[in-house]
Structure 1
Amino acid sequence: MSNNLPVCRAHWQDIPHIVDLVVGPFADSTIGAWLVPDDHRRRNILSAVVRVWIEHALLFGEAHLLPDHSAAAVWLHRYGPLSPPAGYGERLAVACGEYVDRFLHLDDVLHTHRPDGPHNHLAFFAVAPQPYRVRRASILLATSNARMGHALLPTYTEVATLADRNLYARHGYAALEPFTLPDGSTTYPMWRTPRQRRARHRSSTPPARPDQRGPALNDLPIRLILDTSAILAFTEGSTAVGQAIARVADEGGLFGLPVMCLAEAARSVTDAGRLDLLANHPAATVLTVDPLQWKTLAATHRAVGRLDTAAALLAAAANDCRVLSDQPGR
């Protein structure tokens, strides 16, 4: 039903539009003025910082837009501890210069008050000052909530005004204890618990084994296989891998993670949290090797020299799709 609403998922090329939407009111706010006291540099600095976080959201979350780009919702999937963007400290220092400590202080305040449990975090929600602004906000918020609700996880956000707090309350959000930002302004955290889906009729067929994909996923095609190098690249913040899996998800497909590639990546990954996020991505499916294919696996292993690479090639052949690798020549 939500697919019929006039809301689309944002792509990498939409980032400049989202940045403009977010930075407009941000630059005019008291917290924006506190972060960057210099009126002439404020918009450029805020734009650079907001872009870092929106890029991060497209890798570890999602963003939704109205088709005319008049409103945007940017989400982070906080299914577990979420690391900051790759190279965040360096990028922040370059963007903010002498104001970097103010941004880090704001990060600390927001982190202190953010819930710890798994949830989807509405990091940015911006609507252009056009006619029917409230209606546009309501359409986008309702649709975003519906899409986030598919994961059956709570959603969290912070709003700056009582009017916004009332808007979110009409969409099922409950107000948490307000807190004060470094500039002295008050922020209102909001929490929404998703409605539980009705239990389905019990099937007469036996339940699937843990290593089998459920019926809903079986209806979706696997369009891409990530090998070990691509998995590791994703955990290191690779935009190329992030864009590739975002395209697969946008097209209604799945990307496969061979269990041998996941296990090999886990041996050397530096950010296990991002590996968990990838494995729990709504469009991800973990693939095992069919025991009856052990001879084919062995022959492929002899040919390529790595068992995880052989598993990725077999998965691609079985699903008639390509392998995404971060290593040239593979």
Structure 2
Amino acid sequence: MFRTLPGDAEARPVAELLGVVFDDSEINHWLVDGPAPERLDRMTAWFEILVRHALTGAGQVVVADSAGGDSPYAAAAVWFDRTGEATEPENYAELTAKAAGPHLARFQALDEVFDEHHPTEPHQHLAFLVAQPQRTGLGSKLLHHTTSRLTVPVYLEATSEDSRRLYETRHGFDRMNPPEIRPAGNGPAFHRMWRP
């Protein structure tokens, strides 16, 4: 049901799924506070940078194939391996500037707060986990698929109170200190979670 994409897989379809599923999220609206088509285009372009980085050696992308619809994937999880030295996508600054356009300052603020509060202990970082809205429970199954095979802790930043509660009550994650971080001091809250 689940499979890890090979390193030469196309990043775009995963990025498009992330863009669509996260399109109504508070963080996407904060990062790109323009019209919906612009937001979707810019966020998908930024997600593609990160998905490609995971696919080309910095982590892994695990998917559930779709039985139909616009996306080849029903769900996707984007992981980064932080058991060694962290890496950044090649030409990340210029690629992000192109993707973000006039909204670049907010993308930079997001990166800054993430970097400042990222744990230093070796772990796997779950950067993104999405499932098509009609596939209830598929995201949880996809998460369990990978975490059940890991021998190191997992870190993530939950984007809502609902997802924070889900990670805490169903998946064994604990809140960290500080439990919340906000880009630029007044951006949307991210809930820092750790699974030993």
Which range, TM-score by smaller chain? Answer: 0.7 to 0.9
Asked if structure 2 preserves the Cα contact closer than 8 Å seen for 1:31 and 1:181, the reply is no
Asked if structure 1 preserves the Cα contact closer than 8 Å seen for 2:2 and 2:64, the reply is yes
Q: Does 1:38 align with 2:34?
A: yes
Structure 2 unaligned blocks of 5 or more? 67-72
TM-score by length of 1: 0.53
Q: Which amino acid in structure 2 is aligned with residue 140 of structure 1? A: L
Q: Distance in 1 between matches of 2:161 and 2:32?
A: 25
Structure 2 counterpart SS, 1:117: coil
Q: Distance in 2 between matches of 1:27 and 1:186?
A: 17
* Partner residue in 1 for 2:182: 180
Q: Distance in 1 between matches of 2:40 and 2:132?
A: 16
Q: Distance in 1 between matches of 2:45 and 2:17?
A: 13
* Partner residue in 1 for 2:65: 67
TM-score by length of 2: 0.86
Tell me how far 1:14 sits from its aligned partner: 4.7
More helix by share: 1
Tell me how far 1:178 sits from its aligned partner: 1.8
More displaced, 16-25 or 105-114? 16-25
What CA deviation, in whole Å up to 9, does each residue of 1:214-234 have, x standing for no partner?
xxxxxxxxxxxxxxxxxxxxx
Q: Does 1:84 align with 2:79?
A: no
Indicate the RMSD between aligned Cα atoms, in angstroms. Answer: 1.6
Aligned residues with identical type, % of pairs? 32
Q: Which amino acid in structure 2 is aligned with residue 9 of structure 1? A: T
Asked if structure 1 preserves the Cα contact closer than 8 Å seen for 2:113 and 2:181, the reply is no
Q: Distance in 1 between matches of 2:164 and 2:34?
A: 30
Asked if structure 2 preserves the Cα contact closer than 8 Å seen for 1:80 and 1:117, the reply is no
Higher RCO, Cα 8 Å, sep 6+: 2
Structure 1 unaligned blocks of 5 or more? 1-5, 194-330
* Partner residue in 2 for 1:155: 154
**Which of 122, 129, 147 is the aligned partner of 1:125?**
129
Q: Which amino acid in structure 2 is aligned with residue 171 of structure 1? A: H
Q: Which amino acid in structure 2 is aligned with residue 26 of structure 1? A: F
What CA deviation, in whole Å up to 9, does each residue of 1:5-52 have, x standing for no partner?
x21112343522211221123332222122112213111111111100
Asked if structure 2 preserves the Cα contact closer than 8 Å seen for 1:173 and 1:191, the reply is yes
Change (3 A) 1:184 1:94: closer
Q: Distance in 1 between matches of 2:117 and 2:131?
A: 25
**Which of 47, 50, 59 is the aligned partner of 1:50?**
47
Structure 2 counterpart SS, 1:122: strand
More strand by share: 2
* Partner residue in 1 for 2:70: none
Q: Does 1:137 align with 2:139?
A: yes
The structure with the largest alpha-carbon Rg is 1
Tell me how far 1:108 sits from its aligned partner: 0.3
